[in-house]
Amino acid sequence: MAQRKIIHVDCDCFYAAVEMRDDPSLREVPLAVGGEGGRGVVTTCNYKARAFGVRSAMPGGEARRLCPGLVTVPPDMARYRAVSKQVMAILRELTDLVEPLSLDEAFLDVSDVTDHKGSATLMARYLRQRVKEEVGITISAGVAPNKFLAKIASDWKKPDGLFVIRPEDVDGFVQDLKVEKLFGVGQVTAGKLHGLGVATCGDLQNIPADVLLEKFGKQGYRLREMAYGRDDRDVVVSRIAKSVSVERTFSQDLPDKRACESVMASLVADLNLRLSRKAARKPIHKLFIKIRYSDFSTHTLERVRDQIREPAMEDYQPLLDELVTDAQRPVRLLGLGVRFRSDESPVMQLRLFD
């Protein structure tokens, strides 16, 4: 089996980060989202508040005792969902294999992605930069050969960090890893493990498998696998893709429209490669094209094209002609994509008049 490359991304203090983005005065104070009034609990807080010991799920009263200067704002879930959607869309431009765990974290399987020289580390760096620039918050990322290690890695250099565990580093990394870091190990399980003289994964490796099964049942098997840094769970994609796209950001701006045309053929080839990987997909409903100019203004155009099975360069040319009104304007990014027919799209255009 080929070596897998998994990225786990986690937005740093997500709700608080959105609040600080939208009201910069909140960046300078210890901030909690939620927890106002007598009965409220803190849903999340910024790092200034964490320095006082404030934590998620803590009652507001306790949080204010620990941090008398704590500023609280009510949660605004609609706004957080909109920001989450923006982040997830950036992740899905890199790969369709995205498994969101919540509004603010997700796994990506990038094993087959060839962009960024096929390097998961470069991909993670790129995602972090794009989210910072386009969404205005920071994400931490972990890169590893499996989900369990990628999730631990994303927490390793928080906030705003990137940590990579390469396949050859796994054995050394888990030796000193505290058992409290293991998925599903809370206070009770940790207490039982400490009773066996186990503080790290290295210690855990020395406990015979039958002892772990006897003490922990089925969880004993999982504990042993994690102690060796093993995890064969797949990244699970539950949503049906509504679109597929490819885009390229140029390190030097393309000087004009003709230069765009010269790179379109390879973008169309990349797009068709992605489409070929989608075994069960709906028919194409629309083609779209996206351009970001050197001044960072972004323009998109989509058109219904129902009869196309495999898009070609000449299918996108009319969209480019329509979108680019100034042929001499330098281009920083060029993207192409398709949207699939959804069950809601009308299958035939109804005539307005008989």
Tokens found for residue 273: 């490669």
The helix-helix angle for 14-22 and 77-94 (nearest 10°) equals 100
Q: Is 10 annotated as a binding residue?
A: yes
Whose structure tokens read 């740093």?
12
Per-residue three-class SS string for 84-152: HHHHHHHHHHHCCCEEEEECCEEEEECCCCCCHHHCHHHHHHHHHHHHHHHCCCCEEEEEECCHHHHHH
Residue 305 near residue 284, CB atoms below 8 Å: yes
Helix (H, G, I), strand (E, B) or coil at 282: coil
Tokens of 29: 């104070």
Question: How many C-beta neighbours within 10 Å does residue 75 have?
Answer: 16
Distances from the Cα of 306 to the Cα of 10, 179, 283, 343, angstroms? 38, 55, 8, 14
Provide the 10 A C-beta neighbour count for residue 342. 11
The single-letter DSSP state of residue 256 is: S
The DSSP-derived string for 3-48 is PP-EEEEEETTHHHHHHHHH-GGGGGS-EEEE--TTT-BEEEE-HH
- The residues, ordered by sequence, that sit 6+ positions from 173 with a Cβ below 8 Å of its Cβ are 149, 165, 229
**Residue 225 is among the residues annotated as catalytic for this protein:** no
109 is in an annotated binding site: no
Shortest CA distance to 30 belongs to which of 13, 9, 8? 13
Considering 19, 99, 105, 247, which one is annotated as catalytic?
Answer: 105
| Residue that the structure tokens 């997909």 belong to | 281
For the chain, how many residues are written? 354
User: How far is 16 from 27, CA to CA, in rounded Å?
Assistant: 9
Annotated binding site for Mg(2+): 10, 104
Q: Just list the catalytic residues.
A: 105
Annotated binding site: 10, 104
